[in-house]
Structure 1
């Protein structure tokens, strides 16, 4: 009986990572209006990615230079793009971890009725 219990416990431990919460796929406006300030606006609202001098989501390096793709400049070297991110959120409006980023055409977000216009 102890052997069966040990095997069951080992199986549960081996499967535990599979039960972890999967990253969320969030798509919308990726905005960088001023130095050190970034957020994502999707159909669920606005998600903080970075605030100057305060918070930076781990994995920020996955975003890269959004001005190298389809991009709208609004403030000198700053502006917005459309993209999708694999992230973890805190459920309170903050992106807690960035796993990947894929920039899309501006038209993709412009044609998405669930998205508000970028501000």
Structure 2
């Protein structure tokens, strides 16, 4: 009986999609309250949107980006450059943040694969 239960549990675990951490680097944008996204060389990744219940686990790992190299565009809101270890839905959403590292703006400005925000 234990062997059967173990076999079923293992089969179910293998059937679930495997999530793997991805490193995504680019423009971290927070243009207005509750709206966050990351523009990297491949995509625009939604981190969260105002009024949505879509805040990913690990959002608290992103510090106040305005305390470092940052561009203010709208009151206390704006953008910075950074790298994140994340899990995504494979399409357009960041579903979990595992780590965050803010970089100098020059790093993103000098990356020709990145589209300048704004």
TM-score (norm 1): 0.82
Structure 1 stretches of 5 or more lacking a match?
1-8
- Number of equivalent positions: 104
CA distance in 1, matches of 2:19, 2:31: 31
Distance in structure 2 (CA, Å) of the matches to 1:72 and 1:104: 13
Question: Which of the pair has more CA radius of gyration?
Answer: 1
Residues 23-59 of structure 1 show CA distances to partners (whole Å, capped at 9, x for unaligned) of: 0000000000000000000001100001011021111
| Structure 1 vs Structure 2 CA RMSD | 1.7
Give the Å deviation of 1:22. Answer: 3.0
Partner of residue 101, structure 2:
102
TM-score by length of 2: 0.83
Q: Which runs of 5+ in 2 are unaligned?
A: 1-6
